[in-house]
């Protein structure tokens, strides 16, 4: 049996319309700059301040459906309907379960997991029409290893894997891929919130023995959103220096 790759959609060429959530700093910014350097038209969400120079910014809190809906409209008007979604925005609110209030649980689940349902819903409408699309969800290595003090975060990040794999089934016949990256320790503002003793524990569990850079995560996202990855969907790609390998 022969199969023809479904690459005839409007999104298969260069200069695709990309939306990166949380693209104003950290991993998201590195992803946005990397895809822009490839020639894509890249929009980033930002909640406050100005967007990074050279990138189209849409003010958007991903936990707010009205703001997400408006963001997709603004992106479509500026650079065309979203063809590549990178769901990267995320927060931590750490604490051992017995001390973890509902507010910290809800905030992390809303930002890191529930938001991705609405982002993927908005993105998939345009992608279905074009019969082409790429979604990459930014999870974490700790989704698989577990992490004391991060039940909310690890539950949300593990949830992204199930979400991606079900979506891969729902959208695969239309040329849309949905994949996950699981970074380990990455040098961003988020890492600066981790206690030094805990950081040392993570480093001891990382065969490469160092934290990664946002650019190293961006390289994986760039691959998964490119034409080279046209036959990869439902995959989980670790970018973790080996932390949590084997899952
Ligand atoms: P940063 O803290 O540096 O950046 C987080 C980004 O998410 C910011 O752009 C922030 O926007 C945005 N964001 C947070 N909440 C919202 C919201 N409600 N609406 C819109 N944007 C929001 O983190 P990283 O760059 O390190 O993290 C990026 C992703 O990578 C996250 O999902 C994180 O969980 C994941 N990750 C990070 C690891 C690491 O070691 N750094 C390891 C594994 C996974 P604003 O500037 O407005 O706050």
Q: Alpha-carbon distance 175 to 198, whole Å? A: 42
pLDDT reading at 247 higher than 90: no
Measured from the CB, is residue 152 less than 6 Å from ligand 1?
no
pLDDT reading at 5 higher than 70: no
Burial 44-74 (b: 16+ CB within 10 A, else e): bbbeeeebbeebbbbebbbbeeeebeebbeb
Number of Cβ within a 10 Å radius of residue 129: 13
Q: What is the pLDDT of residue 49?
A: 86
Distance 29 CA to ligand 1 centre (A): 10
Q: Specify the CATH number for the domain of residue 164.
A: 3.40.50.720
Asked about 231 being catalytic, the answer comes back as: no
Structural domain contains residue 90: yes
Structural domain contains residue 201: yes
Atom 8 in ligand 1: which residue has the minimum CA distance?
Answer: 22
% pLDDT > 70, the chain: 94
Q: What is the pLDDT of residue 10?
A: 47
Region class of 34: left (phi > 0), else alpha (psi between -120 and 50), else beta? alpha
Q: What is this structure's pTM? A: 0.96
What is the average pLDDT across 127-139?
98
Assign 48 a pLDDT band (cuts: 50, 70, 90).
confident
Measured from the CB, is residue 180 less than 6 Å from ligand 1?
no
Q: At 139, phi and psi to the nearest 5?
A: -100, -140
Q: Which atom of ligand 1 is nearest to the CA of 48?
A: 47
Structural domain contains residue 153: yes
Measured from the CB, is residue 17 less than 6 Å from ligand 1?
no
Measured from the CB, is residue 51 less than 6 Å from ligand 1?
no
Structural domain contains residue 197: yes
What is the average pLDDT across 77-97?
97
Structural domain contains residue 198: yes
What is the average pLDDT across 166-175?
98
Structural domain contains residue 244: no
**Closest residue by Cα to residue 153 from 97, 201, 204:** 97
Q: What is the pLDDT of residue 1?
A: 45
Atom 9 in ligand 1: which residue has the minimum CA distance?
Answer: 22
Q: What is the pLDDT of residue 174?
A: 97
Q: What is the pLDDT of residue 13?
A: 56
Q: What is the pLDDT of residue 68?
A: 98
Per-residue pLDDT tens digits for 235-246: 999 999 999 998
Q: Alpha-carbon distance 61 to 110, whole Å? A: 11
* Catalytic pick among 153, 157, 168, 217: 153
Q: Which residue segment(s) compose the domain that 190 sits in?
A: 13-239
Mean pLDDT of the residues in the chain: 94
Strands (E), the chain: 17-20, 41-46, 56-59, 84-87, 133-138, 176-183, 236-239
Per-residue pLDDT tens digits for 173-220: 999 999 999 999 999 999 988 889 999 999 999 999 999 999 999 999
Structural domain contains residue 6: no
What does the DSSP 8-state code read for residue 210?
Answer: S
Number of domains in the chain: 1
**Closest residue by Cα to residue 185 from 242, 115, 225, 127:** 242
Distance 1 CA to ligand 1 centre (A): 44
Assign 2 a pLDDT band (cuts: 50, 70, 90).
very low
Helix (H, G, I), strand (E, B) or coil at 36: helix
Assign 14 a pLDDT band (cuts: 50, 70, 90).
low
Residues in the chain: 247
**Closest residue by Cα to residue 104 from 91, 119, 115, 86:** 91
Classify residue 111 by burial, with Cβ atoms within 10 Å: 0-12, 13-18, 19+: buried
What is the average pLDDT across 129-153?
97
Q: What is the pLDDT of residue 3?
A: 47
Structural domain contains residue 128: yes
Assign 30 a pLDDT band (cuts: 50, 70, 90).
very high
Q: Which of 26, 85, 191 to mutate to test the pocket of ligand 1 (most atoms within 8 A of CB)?
A: 26
pLDDT reading at 8 higher than 90: no
Measured from the CB, is residue 48 less than 6 Å from ligand 1?
yes
Atom 32 in ligand 1: which residue has the minimum CA distance?
Answer: 90
Per-residue pLDDT tens digits for 216-228: 999 999 999 999 9
């Amino acid at each position: 049996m022969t199969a023809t790759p479904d690459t005839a959609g409007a999104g298969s060429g260069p200069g695709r319309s990309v939306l990166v959530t949380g693209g104003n700093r950290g991993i998201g910014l590195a992803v946005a700059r990397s895809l822009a350097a490839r020639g894509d038209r890249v929009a980033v969400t930002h909640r406050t301040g100005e967007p990074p120079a050279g990138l189209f910014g849409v003010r958007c809190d991903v936990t707010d459906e009205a703001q997400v809906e408006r963001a997709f409209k603004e992106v479509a008007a500026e650079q065309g309907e979203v063809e590549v979604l990178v769901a990267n925005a995320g927060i931590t609110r750490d604490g051992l379960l017995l001390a973890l209030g509902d507010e910290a649980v809800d905030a992390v689940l809303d930002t890191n997991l529930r938001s991705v349902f609405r982002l993927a819903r908005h993105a998939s409408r345009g992608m279905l029409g074009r019969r082409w699309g790429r979604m990459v969800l930014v999870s974490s290595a700790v989704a698989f290893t577990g992490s004391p003090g991060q039940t909310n975060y690890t539950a949300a990040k593990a949830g992204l894997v199930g979400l991606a794999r079900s979506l891969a089934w729902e959208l695969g016949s239309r040329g849309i891929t949905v994949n996950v990256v699981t970074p380990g320790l990455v040098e961003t503002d988020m890492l600066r919130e981790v206690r030094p003793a805990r950081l040392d524990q993570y480093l001891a569990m990382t065969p490469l023995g160092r934290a990664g850079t946002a650019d190293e995560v961006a390289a994986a996202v760039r691959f998964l959103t490119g034409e080279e990855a046209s036959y990869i969907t439902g995959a989980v790609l670790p970018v973790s220096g080996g932390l949590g390998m084997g899952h």
